[in-house]
Amino acid sequence: MYDHYSGALYGVILRIVQSKEYTEEIIQDVFVKIWNSIHQYDVSKGRFYTWMINIARNTAIDYLKSKGFQNQLKNQSLPDFVYDSTELSTTNDSSDYIGFASVLESLEKDKKELIDLAYYQGYTQNEISEKLKIPLGTVKTKMRNALMKLKDLLKDYQ
């Protein structure tokens, strides 16, 4: 399971925490969580890959919000946390085994932006609402529409 999914999960986590060091630490936690909670996976609610991506995303967001990480941030020099867009590019990402980047690129710009903010940058819907200066209800509706469109694109992709 690790050999098959670690690259894709690593990419999701790296986009959120933007540090290889922390990503390596978090991915271990993610696979332990998957192993310990495999009995909670429900086939009728979605695909196994999607379930694992959500665990990875939530673990990365929890890590960023943890007090330990916040204290480490205060003690680190700035260059460790500067965003390097070439390092995090989705176009030639070796961790993108299923070609998700190309599927994501086929979404409309506004839908792609919402998915990027929520799933790759770790924003909550409230934070997206504040960042984009649109009502929370609108964010929720647009996010639902974006995910439904993405689901349709993924069905066609298979």
Instruction: Please give the mean pLDDT across all residues of the chain.
Output: 79
Last-in-domain residue among 21, 41, 64? 64
Q: Report which of 127, 97, 101 is spatially closest to residue 114, judged by C-alpha positions.
A: 127
Q: Is residue 114 part of a domain?
A: yes
105 and 56 in one domain? no
Q: Quick check: is 36 in a domain?
A: yes
Domain membership flag for residue 83 = no
Candidate from 35-44, 56-65, 101-110, 123-132 with smallest mean pLDDT: 101-110
- Among 13, 46, 64, the domain-final residue is 64
* pLDDT: which is higher, 81 or 143: 143
| CATH code where residue 152 lies | 1.10.10.10
> Does the residue 27 lie in any domain?
yes
Asked whether residue 90 is domain-assigned, the answer is no
Structural domain span for residue 144: 99-157
- Give me the residue label for tokens 């999701």: 12
Pick from 64, 80, 108: which residue ends a domain?
64
* Domain membership flag for residue 71: no
Residue 28 has pLDDT above 70, yes or no: yes
Structural domain count of the chain: 2
Query: Residue 36 pLDDT > 90, yes or no?
Result: yes
Angle at Cα 99 formed by Cα 127 and Cα 28, nearest 5°? 65
pLDDT bin (cut points 50, 70, 90) of residue 51 is very high
Q: Tell me which of 51-65, 78-92, 102-116 is least confident.
A: 78-92
In a domain, 91, yes or no: no
Residue pair 157/147 in contact by the 8 Å Cβ criterion = no
In angstroms, the CA 54 to CA 51 distance is 5
Output the six-digit token pair for 90: 């989705």
Domain with residue 31: its CATH number is 1.10.1740.10
**Do 51 and 110 sit in the same domain of this protein?**
no
